[in-house]
Structure 1
Amino acid sequence: MRIFFLVFFSTVFGNAFTQDLAFSRKIIDTLTSPPYWGRGYTNEGATKTAQFLKAQLESYGLKPLNQQSYLQEFYLSVNTFPGKMEVSLNGIALVPGGDFIVSPDSRGIKESCKLFQKDSLNFVNDENRIVLTIKDKLTWSVAQQTSENTQILVNRSAIQSLPQKIKLNVENRFIKSFKAFNVAGMVRGTAVPDSMIVITAHYDHLGGMGADTYFPGANDNASGIALLLNLARHYAAKPPRYSVVFICFGAEEAGLLGSLHFSQNPLIDLKKIRFLINTDLAGTGQEGITVVNGSVYTREFELLNRINSEGKYLPKVNTRGKAANSDHYWFTEKGVPSFFIYTMGGIKAYHDIYDRASTLPLTEHEDLIRLLIKFNSALMSNH
């Protein structure tokens, strides 16, 4: 009989987390699909994503933070590339995203001209303010301004001969005031509702480069959003002692702007936050996790590490110090105790077109969910 119950509970809880993994895969598949267009600033990618997340939080029964709205709007400037994205080098057409990317602050240009070698990696046409740079890996980002130049970054593997002639048809659009959103909701605590655990993740990515190429952003950060939504479902079904707040930030890739806006215009009392956990790059884990601020909040890090050791969840929990590398940063600056947790190992795709749902292993995704639930429970029991 004892063996029967052990098998029964193992099967039930194992299936529960299998469902969590299936749910995460569905969320990641959705957010990396063409309709959301890289969750950026063309084709309404970021706006559609915010509406999708609003609907998710509402469907779980979370309460909105912003009076009757789950959305907190803010504005930013951004350079975008919604149209033509054509580059030929020495008469050979290059493939956007794979063979080349445009520097995110580039101006648009339509031109055909010669290139002159500046050094082993850079070829220029000063008259037309064109720079071609050879790279071993193409990594894109987001710019809030437009340069006077057009820079084309070309994958070394696409270079068949010395760059001598280039033909460009690149369209940019600078948006001075783009409306973006943070998406936030709360599960009210059953015993100490004025104390809060806050779970955050950014939903934006790089968006599209031209009319035919977008950056899926599976690991960065559809994986973190999937983890956040899994926790939102969990706590909505089983409200804990403390209130749990969930915030999906916009415009992280543009400079942590969504979290900056929230920290300056908080919808909750920041002093009542017991702890904030920011999750980004939650899709691998073969080499464990790294905890930014682990060496700052040593008591909480020792607690997290002990729980991980006892539960044998992740192969390793690494610690590092303070860093302005994700949305936890502005809260740390406001005195809110915070961790930024990201997984290590596995695929190396990052800020490129290869960060896809189909190749994201989610190796330790379930165990990370388990670990965070246990960690939050321990934080709440110490009131």
Structure 2
Amino acid sequence: MQSSLVKRFILLLFLLSSLNGFAQDSVYVRQTIKQLTSKTFWGRGYTKDGMTKAADFLSAEYKKIGLLPFQGDYKQSFNYPVNTFPGKMLVIINGKKLIPGKDFIINNESPSLKKQATVDKIDSVNYQAGLNLQIVLKDKLTWSVATEVADKTIIQINKKAFAEIPKTINVDIENKFIPDFKASNVCGFVKGTKYPDSVLLITAHYDHLGGMGNDTYFPGANDNAAGVATLLSLAKYYAVNPKPYSVGFICFAGEEAGLLGSKYFTENPLLPLSTIKFLINLDLVGTGESGMTVVNASVYPKAFSILNQINAEQKLITKINSRGKAANSDHYFFTEKGVPAFFFYTQGGISAYHDVFDKAETLPLTEYNDLFKLIISFNKKLME
């Protein structure tokens, strides 16, 4: 009887420690998302050294966790062109000064422009002020990254925030085209105890949109600070619990500019791509009340079946949706090179995307713990 009580007590302690471990990971994830979305990293983009600072932060986290670099250094550097907006960001319509990011955004390919003009109507949503300036009324403002400069400045205005018909405009916009912006993928791994040359790879892009002018930046909490924080949490787990196989971790740069970091890595791999047994890419994983979707599910039906079986047995994610092949995140170029890969993203919750409202404080992280458990169990099953 006494022995039975002791066993139950030990089991209870084990369960409590496991729960505390997950709770601590949740705290770490939230803290990491808060850091990555702070002004310090300025949208992890192209002005105020945002992306460089983020790469340095991730390298330091890799070292702290105990990851090994793939080849001498955690960083894999590469270059690409990008259009940036480091300075002036003034738009006044009908005498009213508009707020960058909330009332208006500048089309990402726009050149610099300083101009005062009257506005002519083209149709119900399009206006122009001469040949080099166009105004577009939008229901929702979303931004992106451009790798070239157009010959016309385009201003998108939130018609819900500014209901007036544009009649006059005063613009002072500053762009800076950088032909060879330097970025870095951040790569590390936990060495396998028995089969170190067999690798399960977990990836997430850390770059976001950066800033628009001196005062406005795009935090990128769900896209993709949540994916990076989840990756780091998994790295902490595997560093403490090494497996027979190696587990690699890559935080990609340049995703928002066209999957450039993952494309560069697949063309200049730091490990033979043939050693990657499976890849899980995490992007937009900060929600989950409506379940999650797996890109490439129909391409790898056996692996998707295993994932669903684990999910059903452990009662984790409410629903896992199947999706086919898509070039919508960093898994894509690996798949093109023959590496089996899934891209996970969650659904439901906040609708903020590529705007100034994708903030850490509004990110629910509904399914973080369940997603963490699902990935751990899935990886374990893949190597049985």
Q: TM-score range by the shorter chain?
A: over 0.9
Secondary structure of the corresponding residue to residue 285 of structure 1? coil
Which runs of structure 1 show a deviation greater than 3 angstroms over 4 or more consecutive aligned residues?
2-7
Q: Distance in 2 between matches of 1:99 and 1:150?
A: 17
Identity of aligned residues (%): 55
Query: Where does 1:293-308 land on structure 2 (aligned, <5 Å)?
Result: 293-308=296-311
Equivalent residue number for residue 103 of structure 2: 99
CA deviation digits over 1:35-81, x for unaligned, max 9?
10000000000000001101111111111112x11110000100000
Equivalent residue number for residue 214 of structure 2: 211
CA deviation digits over 1:131-181, x for unaligned, max 9?
100000000000000110000000012333211111101100000000000
Equivalent residue number for residue 367 of structure 1: 370
**Which of 234, 240, 244 is residue 241 of structure 1 equivalent to?**
244
Equivalent residue number for residue 90 of structure 1: 94
Q: Distance in 2 between matches of 1:267 and 1:159?
A: 50
Secondary structure of the corresponding residue to residue 178 of structure 1? strand
| 5+ long unaligned stretches in structure 1 | none
**Which of 153, 156, 164 is residue 153 of structure 1 equivalent to?**
156
Q: Say if 2:25 is the partner of 1:24.
A: no
Letter of the structure 1 residue corresponding to residue 25 of structure 2: D
Report how many residues are paired: 379
TM-score between the two structures when normalised by the length of structure 2: 0.97
**Which of 359, 379, 382 is residue 379 of structure 1 equivalent to?**
382
Letter of the structure 2 residue corresponding to residue 32 of structure 1: T
Letter of the structure 2 residue corresponding to residue 83 of structure 1: G
Equivalent residue number for residue 51 of structure 2: 46
Secondary structure of the corresponding residue to residue 287 of structure 1? coil
Equivalent residue number for residue 143 of structure 1: 146
Letter of the structure 2 residue corresponding to residue 306 of structure 1: Q
Q: Say if 2:64 is the partner of 1:59.
A: yes
**Which of 1, 9, 13 is residue 14 of structure 2 equivalent to?**
9
Letter of the structure 2 residue corresponding to residue 108 of structure 1: S
| TM-superposed deviation, 1:11 | 1.7
| TM-superposed deviation, 1:5 | 4.3
Q: Distance in 2 between matches of 1:300 and 1:20?
A: 27
**Which of 80, 86, 99 is residue 84 of structure 2 equivalent to?**
80
Q: Distance in 1 between matches of 2:305 and 2:48?
A: 45
Equivalent residue number for residue 202 of structure 1: 205
Q: Distance in 1 between matches of 2:285 and 2:20?
A: 21
Equivalent residue number for residue 262 of structure 2: 259
Letter of the structure 2 residue corresponding to residue 166 of structure 1: I
Q: Say if 2:102 is the partner of 1:134.
A: no
Secondary structure of the corresponding residue to residue 11 of structure 1? helix
**Which of 335, 339, 347 is residue 350 of structure 2 equivalent to?**
347
Q: Distance in 1 between matches of 2:149 and 2:282?
A: 31
Secondary structure of the corresponding residue to residue 253 of structure 1? coil
Q: Distance in 1 between matches of 2:14 and 2:363?
A: 29
Secondary structure of the corresponding residue to residue 164 of structure 2? coil
| TM-superposed deviation, 1:25 | 0.4
Q: Say if 2:366 is the partner of 1:326.
A: no
CA deviation digits over 1:252-289, x for unaligned, max 9?
00000000000000001101111000000110110111
CA deviation digits over 1:190-217, x for unaligned, max 9?
1111111000000000000000000000
Q: Say if 2:190 is the partner of 1:162.
A: no
TM-score between the two structures when normalised by the length of structure 1: 0.98
Q: Distance in 2 between matches of 1:79 and 1:71?
A: 23
Q: Say if 2:289 is the partner of 1:286.
A: yes
| TM-superposed deviation, 1:126 | 2.7
Q: Distance in 1 between matches of 2:24 and 2:261?
A: 31
Q: Distance in 1 between matches of 2:242 and 2:306?
A: 22
Letter of the structure 1 residue corresponding to residue 31 of structure 2: K
**Which of 185, 188, 191 is residue 185 of structure 1 equivalent to?**
188
| TM-superposed deviation, 1:6 | 4.6
Q: Distance in 2 between matches of 1:380 and 1:188?
A: 15
Stretch of structure 1 that moved more, 73-82 or 152-161: 152-161
Secondary structure of the corresponding residue to residue 349 of structure 1? coil
Q: Distance in 2 between matches of 1:287 and 1:5?
A: 37
| TM-superposed deviation, 1:241 | 1.1
Letter of the structure 1 residue corresponding to residue 319 of structure 2: K
Letter of the structure 2 residue corresponding to residue 26 of structure 1: Q
Q: Distance in 1 between matches of 2:8 and 2:63?
A: 41
Q: Say if 2:174 is the partner of 1:171.
A: yes
CA deviation digits over 1:13-49, x for unaligned, max 9?
1111000100000100000000100000000000000
**Which of 109, 114, 128 is residue 124 of structure 1 equivalent to?**
128
Q: Distance in 2 between matches of 1:16 and 1:186?
A: 21
Q: Distance in 2 between matches of 1:349 and 1:16?
A: 30
Q: Distance in 2 between matches of 1:265 and 1:25?
A: 33
